[in-house]
Structure 1
Amino acid sequence: MTYDLLTRDWVPVRIGDVRRQIGLRELFEHAHELTDIEAAPPPGASGLWRVLTVIAARITGLDDMSLSAKAWGERQEAVLEAGYFDSDEADKYFARHAGRFDLFDTDRPWLQDPRLREQCPSSSGVNKLVMFRSAGNNQVWFDHATTLQVRPISANEAVFHLLTQLYYGPSGQCTPRTVGATRGGNSKAGPLRRTISFHPLGRNVFESLVAGIPPAYRYNTGGVDLAPWETDELPNPLGVPPRPSGLGGVLCGRFQHAVLLESSDDGESVADAWITWAWRDREFPAEDPYLVYQQNKEGGFYARQADAGRALWRDFDALILEDAGDDHRRRPAVLVTVEDLRGLLLPVLRVRAFGFDQDGQTRDKEWTTAVTPALLALANETQVARAVSEMRQTAEKTERHLRWALRDVWIAINDPSNGDGRPQRKDISEGPWPAQGSARYWPRAERIFWQRVRERRFDRAADAFLHLALEVYDEVTDSASARPRIKRAVELKRGLIFAARGSRTATGKASKVKERA
């Protein structure tokens, strides 16, 4: 059976208000006409954009690690000015790797290892491939598929679950695999597990891809710059993982899982799957160009983790400002590069985030996606960017004081001390009010934030968030009894919110920024 990803219709795209599916060859031929790619689930979309970015870099020559920063920037500008991908170059690239994009090829299935049929004593099953399905003793998440009732999935869907496993797969126990005399039944986590990645988003797919190509010269580590479908031989699982080098190595060469899909009889679906470890040896470290990195207490940097409860605007300053916040967050490398597109694309570029809230091993909580307004040009105005960062920090500090106040007032009204002195009971939890307060606070704080960013109005932002916190405090505590004892506790604990004004953030210093801006 064959399922050629170059010609089969599997990538969901949008052209204006029209939605359809196309193959990779048509995608690159008409990228300048496509409004967007609408792939799901978000982790699979995140992986797809990395794959497409490698192909786009090959076609345009922006994968050349020998180019200086100036020469690379000039080439990127020339590609953007052309307005579309060169179809001849695309045809040459796909011809060089003919047969390597077949999902069910016998010898070299795309991004898979055909040796798993012989090296694994049993398959892992389709339910294991689809992360939101129940597998083994796991609880049901989005559907009611069980090990007793396994439903195949269409081939076009399976591609995105394949990508999700390779980029976000779990660590720990997996289907055993025997290579020579070595047998193992555990794997390391995928390179993007628990992370949130940020991708430039232009007016069409062509702009999004070209703006999203990171500068190749930053990734010349001395290794081989090849994506898995570009290699002549399958990797040696007992050897040393290749050193990530170039765009192919960094974006598509760091997988820790080996996967194999088995087609249905008609070749239109995936009926079974193997998922196991890819390497026994430790991999070389590498920084992904679409991730935010923040500093730990020892001074090292690690990728910022995804949090389904944290809205995208709370990371916006890390997209426009280097060394943002108290944790000294570093911007994604790809967004540092787009600053040079001032007259071409920067004013219209947005950022799309793909996040997967997971733990380090097997627990998958929630995936998210969000898009920022077209405000990346603020990166070229350092003082304004710093004011944005200070305003975000002020909003977060105010919310913390709101939660403390709601926690303390809940304890006070449920304790004989009534908040006067030390609590007499030790078994009172913080109660439901802090969570209710946060749920009410953050959506309204986001509206305040974006409005002030668009208007470049950073003076007295602390007062705006303070007034919001007081409103939320009143709304949440309004359900309490009108008895004098409880009203007294509510009024006493309200004062904790005002402690958030102790910082000059987004008031004095930020108001001077407005005058200069």
Structure 2
Amino acid sequence: MSYDLLTRPWLSVRTGDVREEIGLRELFERAHELTDIEASPPPGASGLWRVLTVIAARVTGLDDMTLSDYEWGERQAEVLERGAFDQEAVEKYFGKHEGRFDLFDAGRPWLQDPRLREECKGRSGVNKLVMSRPAGNNQVWFNHATALDPPPVPASEAVFHLLTQLYYGPSGQCTPRVVSGTSGGNSKAGPLRRTISFHPLGRTVFESLVAGIPPAYLCDSGGADLAPWEAEELPDPLGVPPRPSGLGGVLAGRFQHAVLLEPSADGESVVDAWITWAWRDRELPAEDPYLVYQQNKEGSFYARQADASRALWRDFDSLLLEDIGDEHRRRPAVLAALEDLRGTLLPVLRVRAFGFDQDGQTRDKEWTVGVTPALLALASDIRVARAISDMRQAAERVQQHLRWALRDVWIALNDPSNGDGKPQRKDVSEGPWPAQGAYRYWARAEGIFWRRVRERRFDSVVDDFLRLGLEVYDEVTDSAGSLPRAKRAIELKRGLIYKARAPIGKASRTSKTKERV
């Protein structure tokens, strides 16, 4: 049984408006012609771009951890100037690892562990593989693929579900696995679980891949630089996980789950799966170069979590600034390295974000994808980048005060105190108005934000957001009616929104930025 990802047409790509499906080898041969890869679901696409980045680094030599900062930048510029991947290098790499990209290979299926067939007493089921399907005792809501009738998954789609499990899989109970007398039925979370990652997006797949290769010297931790398909032997599940090092180790060597897919009789789909733990020992930490990191109260940095309700533009300043004062955020390392391309590729690069809103264990809420305008070059002007950050913070400050105002007016209208003093009822919640206000506010605040960024106009930014906040406040509270009691409460609480202005004597950096930065 064979499904060779190098030659089988499983990747959906686009050249302008023309769409087609190709294999992995053709993708690298024609990367300079292809506009983009259309991969779904977004978590699977996030994993795919990391895998492709490892391969791109191998065939360009940008995986060399001995190169200095300057030398690595020079090599990246040379690769971009060439305009395409070297065909001989592509063939040499895939020839060296021939057979390792077969999804259903008996001995070394791609990114899978064939030993699970013997080490697991039971199977996990194909519904467990697809995160959008109900599995086990979960309720059936949007997908009616029950355990009694699990539809097969086409092999071309199963690849992305495999990647989703490996990168974003849950922690906790899993299919039991017995290795050399040691059994276990729980696993640790995948390395990207509940995160949002940011990837450079060029005009072609070639540009996206080369710009998306992080400097290799940032990933040198002294361990072996190997992706799973490059290792000679399968890992020892009872041993110590390898120290993540190099692009292969950091981007594709930190999986905490072991997976095996069961192909259909014709080898065109997946009909079953095993999903279990990969290691018993603790994993070794590593920072992913596509994530935003922020500091906690203890001074440690952690990856920013995905939030499906948070629009991408609210993280735009995190892509420009190395440190943001209000939350001590660090931008992704791959984007920080792109500043050397400011005279060539940087002005046309956009950023694509893949997020998966999850909890730390088993609950999967929603995945998201978004693309920024080609404005990364703004990072080269620190005054503009700071002004953009101040504008984002002003928008959030106004929304916070709008939420308080809507909460308080709702309580006032539903409590005998009518907002005078402490509420007399303890069972009055903040009500539905704050959520309604947030939905209306953020949808329109984005237009204000991008318009001012395009115009490079950062003066009096809080005024635009204040006007929007007041408009939304009136719209949401309009349903309260015109009784004097309601009007009184609405007008009393309106003043909370005005308090979003910067306190006197503590003017923000925005006020110092004058008319145009």
Shared fold per TM-score greater than 0.5: yes
- Contact 1:462–1:505 (Cα < 8 Å) also in 2: no
- Contact 1:398–1:497 (Cα < 8 Å) also in 2: yes
Report the secondary structure of 1:428's partner residue: coil
Aligned to 2:306: 306
Is 1:169 the counterpart of 2:169? The answer is: yes
Report the secondary structure of 2:392's partner residue: helix
- Which has the higher mean CA deviation after the structures are superposed, 175-184 or 502-511? 502-511
Give the Cα separation in 1 of the matches to 2:326 and 2:333: 20
Instruction: Kindly state the Cα deviation for residue 12 of structure 1 after the two structures are TM-superposed.
Output: 1.0
Aligned to 1:134: 134
TM-score scaled by structure 1? 0.99
Question: AA paired with 2:43?
Answer: P
Aligned to 2:406: 406
Instruction: Kindly state the Cα deviation for residue 359 of structure 1 after the two structures are TM-superposed.
Output: 0.3
- Which has the higher mean CA deviation after the structures are superposed, 179-188 or 499-508? 499-508
Deviations 1:100-134 (A, max 9, x none): 00000000000000000000001100000000101
Is 1:97 the counterpart of 2:94? The answer is: no
Instruction: Kindly state the Cα deviation for residue 147 of structure 1 after the two structures are TM-superposed.
Output: 0.6
Unaligned runs of 5+ in 2: none
Instruction: Kindly state the Cα deviation for residue 508 of structure 1 after the two structures are TM-superposed.
Output: 6.2
- Contact 1:409–1:419 (Cα < 8 Å) also in 2: yes
Unaligned runs of 5+ in 1: none
Give the Cα separation in 2 of the matches to 1:330 and 1:396: 19
Give the Cα separation in 1 of the matches to 2:389 and 2:78: 33
- Contact 1:462–1:507 (Cα < 8 Å) also in 2: no
Give the Cα separation in 2 of the matches to 1:441 and 1:341: 36
Report the secondary structure of 2:275's partner residue: strand
Question: AA paired with 1:292?
Answer: V
Report the secondary structure of 1:32's partner residue: coil
Report the secondary structure of 1:502's partner residue: coil
Instruction: Kindly state the Cα deviation for residue 431 of structure 1 after the two structures are TM-superposed.
Output: 0.7
Aligned to 2:15: 15
Aligned to 1:50: 50
Question: AA paired with 2:205?
Answer: V
Aligned to 2:207: 207
Instruction: Kindly state the Cα deviation for residue 512 of structure 1 after the two structures are TM-superposed.
Output: 3.3
Alignment of 1:412-423 (within 5 A): 412-423=412-423
Give the Cα separation in 2 of the matches to 1:415 and 1:49: 54
- Contact 1:461–1:506 (Cα < 8 Å) also in 2: no
Give the Cα separation in 1 of the matches to 2:389 and 2:341: 23
Q: CA RMSD in A?
A: 1.2
Give the Cα separation in 2 of the matches to 1:506 and 1:257: 50
Aligned to 1:261: 261
Instruction: Kindly state the Cα deviation for residue 325 of structure 1 after the two structures are TM-superposed.
Output: 4.0
Alignment of 1:105-120 (within 5 A): 105-120=105-120
- Contact 2:390–2:508 (Cα < 8 Å) also in 1: no
Question: AA paired with 1:314?
Answer: R
Alignment of 1:342-357 (within 5 A): 342-357=342-357
Deviations 1:49-91 (A, max 9, x none): 0000000000000000011110000000000011110111000
Report the secondary structure of 1:479's partner residue: helix
Aligned to 1:323: 323
Instruction: Kindly state the Cα deviation for residue 139 of structure 1 after the two structures are TM-superposed.
Output: 2.0
Alignment of 1:51-450 (within 5 A): 51-450=51-450
- Contact 1:196–1:356 (Cα < 8 Å) also in 2: yes
Shift in CA distance, 450/504, structure 1 to aligned 2, threshold 3 Å: farther
Report the secondary structure of 1:478's partner residue: helix
- Which has the higher mean CA deviation after the structures are superposed, 467-476 or 11-20? 11-20
Instruction: Kindly state the Cα deviation for residue 509 of structure 1 after the two structures are TM-superposed.
Output: 3.3
Aligned to 1:498: 498
TM-score scaled by structure 2? 0.99
Deviations 1:4-29 (A, max 9, x none): 00000001111100111110000000
Instruction: Kindly state the Cα deviation for residue 506 of structure 1 after the two structures are TM-superposed.
Output: 12
Instruction: Kindly state the Cα deviation for residue 513 of structure 1 after the two structures are TM-superposed.
Output: 2.4
Shift in CA distance, 505/348, structure 1 to aligned 2, threshold 3 Å: farther
Report the secondary structure of 1:63's partner residue: coil
Report the secondary structure of 1:14's partner residue: strand
Question: AA paired with 2:421?
Answer: G
Give the Cα separation in 1 of the matches to 2:13 and 2:427: 55
Report the secondary structure of 2:500's partner residue: helix
Question: AA paired with 2:26?
Answer: E
Instruction: Kindly state the Cα deviation for residue 447 of structure 1 after the two structures are TM-superposed.
Output: 0.5
User: Aligned residues, how many?
Assistant: 517
Instruction: Kindly state the Cα deviation for residue 420 of structure 1 after the two structures are TM-superposed.
Output: 1.6
